[in-house]
Amino acid sequence: KYLKDSRYGDKLKRLMSIKVLYPNNLMAKHFDFGYFDGLSDSMKGSLLTVCNSGIENEDSGMGCYAMQPEDYDRFKPFFSKVIADYHRVPEGKVHINDWSLAGVRGIPAGGKLDLSLLGLPPLSMRVRVGRNLADFPLPGAMTKQDRLNMETKMCQAFAKLIAMSQYGGRYHSLTPGHKDHISDAEYQNLVKSHLMFKNMADDPYLATAGISSDWPHGRGCYVSADKGFIIWVGEEDHLRIMCMKTGTLLNEVFDRLKAALDVVESIPGLQFAKSPTFGYVTSCPTNLGTGMRASVHLKVPNLTADGTDKKAKAVCKPLGLSVRGMGGEHTPIGADGTVDISPSARFCIKEAEIIVALYKGIKLLKEREEGKG
Ligand code: ADP
Ligand code: CIR
């Protein structure tokens, strides 16, 4: 009966076959035709837009992106199943944000997550969070004008940061004609230095979600004077806010990010989208809750001796760690065997637990690299 509906029939037909042929596509796995049928017409259309990326890309692991900050709560019967399955938490569990290291297990005496205690040299450390503004549609549903308006709004906030002695720096815009517009060569340099995101236009998952539409309008990044505090504008989330530094003390990037986030959040008119159940709202359900990814670039030549990340990934998975390449997700590992390591968990975990999980994970991975453990 659902498939005969002229408005949605084609998408539903595809969905039904994906359900059978692609069991790893979580959107299709948890799409309930009875639930869909009970929705109003406009809700039906909205849910299919949320699911479009996974309908058009059968091999999706997740398969859906929220389009409005309220989507996780208004489509809760759908999203709560997808989220529980992906994040391996019981359905209905409420996310709580907590940056306090007090009481988190696995911190060395003195409270310092110091990689030199593990015998490691200074490494490139980075902590980022995804954030979205409560008063704009999420990137997948933004019009070109929304994207430009959001960039304008953020430039007002950046002017405040630039005036502060601990931040300074400047904004770099990809929007043609913008007063802070940078050349293509400058953009490529920022990407190479890990300060700016890659062109997302050729990512089929983001494209079919509408997230990369209107590229490069409304896209850019703020970089502090010391290049250690960065805010991306217009990638998969409205904002990706991060701290980076080469060093051994993980607390430095973690604490600086928390302090900077408090400053950004206190700027009048900037309100981050948050769900009472799911924590900070992100476009992709994989990032929900903390929106946090804490990573280091770590050299593991033995685990990558075959030139691939295969063995490193197999060792890291049971440790709760993800392995990425030197340019981030879906990029190759370094020629010297350097990889990007980060705890995989984002949801129903404290921010403080993520940074401690990175420290503990690096310790265990180093032992495995050295043939111990
Ligand atoms: P995200 O971390 O926002 O999910 P990516 O995995 O695509 O996105 O990474 C974005 C950029 O951040 C890439 O240039 C990547 O190399 C860089 N990056 C990630 N972790 C580190 C790190 N520890 N040190 C330096 N650059 C990093
Ligand atoms: C998928 O479903 O496989 C893609 N939409 C990507 C999911 C991973 N999420 C992400 O990179 N933020």
Residues 286-338 pLDDT 10s: 999 999 999 999 999 999 999 999 999 999 999 999 999 999 998 999 999 99
Does residue 73 lie in a domain region?
yes
Distance 328 CA to ligand 1 centre (A): 5
Q: Say how far apart CA 289 and CA 300 lie, in whole Å.
A: 30
Report whether pLDDT(251) > 90: yes
Residue 324: active-site member: yes
Q: Say how far apart CA 346 and CA 281 lie, in whole Å.
A: 12
The CB of 360 under 6 Å from ligand 1? The reply is no
Q: Say how far apart CA 159 and CA 171 lie, in whole Å.
A: 9
Report whether pLDDT(236) > 90: yes
Q: Kindly tell me the burial class for residue 272, based on how many C-beta atoms sit within 10 Å of its own C-beta (0-12, 13-18, 19 or more).
A: buried
Does residue 51 lie in a domain region?
yes
Residue 329: active-site member: yes
Mind listing the pLDDT tens digit for each residue in 120-152? 999 999 999 999 999 999 999 999 999 999 999
Helix (H, G, I), strand (E, B) or coil at 125: strand
What is the CATH classification number for the domain harbouring 40?
1.10.135.10
CA 224 centroid distance within chain: 21
> What number is the average pLDDT over the span 40-54?
96
> What number is the average pLDDT over the span 179-206?
97
> What number is the average pLDDT over the span 59-87?
98
Query: Which helix (DSSP H) or strand (DSSP E) does residue 292 occupy?
Result: strand 292-299
The CB of 367 under 6 Å from ligand 1? The reply is no
Q: Report residue 165 as tokens.
A: 């002695």
Give the DSSP letter of residue 114: B
Report whether pLDDT(373) > 90: no
Expressed as residue numbers, the domain containing 22 is 2-78
Does residue 20 lie in a domain region?
yes
Q: What percent of the chain has pLDDT over 70?
A: 99
Model confidence at 7, in pLDDT bands (50, 70, 90)?
Answer: confident
Residue with tokens 């691939």: 308
> What number is the average pLDDT over the span 178-207?
97
Q: Kindly provide the ipTM of the predicted complex, given to two decimals.
A: 0.98
Q: Kindly tell me the burial class for residue 32, based on how many C-beta atoms sit within 10 Å of its own C-beta (0-12, 13-18, 19 or more).
A: exposed
The CB of 251 under 6 Å from ligand 1? The reply is no
The CB of 328 under 6 Å from ligand 1? The reply is yes
Q: Say how far apart CA 58 and CA 54 lie, in whole Å.
A: 6
Does residue 320 lie in a domain region?
no
pLDDT at res. 372: 85
pLDDT at res. 326: 96
Q: Which residues 6+ apart lie within 8 Å of 56 measured at CB?
A: 204, 208
| End-to-end C-alpha distance for the chain, whole angstroms | 57
pLDDT at res. 26: 98
Distance 297 CA to ligand 1 centre (A): 9
Report whether pLDDT(268) > 80: yes
Label residue 348 left, alpha or beta by phi (over 0 means left) and psi (-120 to 50 means alpha).
left
Q: Report residue 309 as tokens.
A: 């990340």
Does residue 37 lie in a domain region?
yes
> What number is the average pLDDT over the span 175-203?
97
Does residue 17 lie in a domain region?
yes
Distance 288 CA to ligand 2 centre (A): 12
Report whether pLDDT(169) > 90: yes
pLDDT at res. 208: 98
CA 7 centroid distance within chain: 33
pLDDT at res. 222: 98
Does residue 31 lie in a domain region?
yes
Of ligand 1's listed atoms, the one at least distance from the Cα of 325 is: 16
Residue with tokens 């236009």: 201
Instruction: Tell me the average pLDDT of the chain.
Output: 96
Report whether pLDDT(4) > 80: no
Q: Say how far apart CA 139 and CA 126 lie, in whole Å.
A: 24
> Into how many domains does the chain fold?
1
Model confidence at 51, in pLDDT bands (50, 70, 90)?
Answer: very high
Q: At 256, which amino acid appears?
A: R
Does residue 231 lie in a domain region?
no
Model confidence at 6, in pLDDT bands (50, 70, 90)?
Answer: confident
